[in-house]
Amino acid sequence: MLGGNVPAVALVFAALATVFAAVTLRDYLRTEGKLTAARQAWLRMTFLFAGVVVGLVAWHTFFA
């Protein structure tokens, strides 16, 4: 395990969520705030991976 109580796979998912958030921010800055389909997709991926991280940490904390 890496990081004490956090499983290693959760760190990988956290890194992916960070990458997707950065891509979302880049798209936001390029389009000057206009909502695009690409940004909406990147944002959904960010929330999906962040949700997986929260679930993994919660599972490891309460059930492992």
Alpha-carbon gap, residue 4 to 24, rounded angstroms: 30
Q: Are 42 and 27 in contact (CB under 8 A)?
A: yes
The pLDDT, as a whole number, for residue 4 is 58
Per the listing, tokens 């919660």 go with 58
CA nearest neighbour of 22 among 3, 53, 14, 11: 14
The pLDDT, as a whole number, for residue 59 is 87
pLDDT, tens only, 28-64? 999 998 899 999 999 999 999 999 999 998 888 888 7
> pTM to 2 decimals?
0.83
The pLDDT, as a whole number, for residue 28 is 93
The pLDDT, as a whole number, for residue 13 is 96
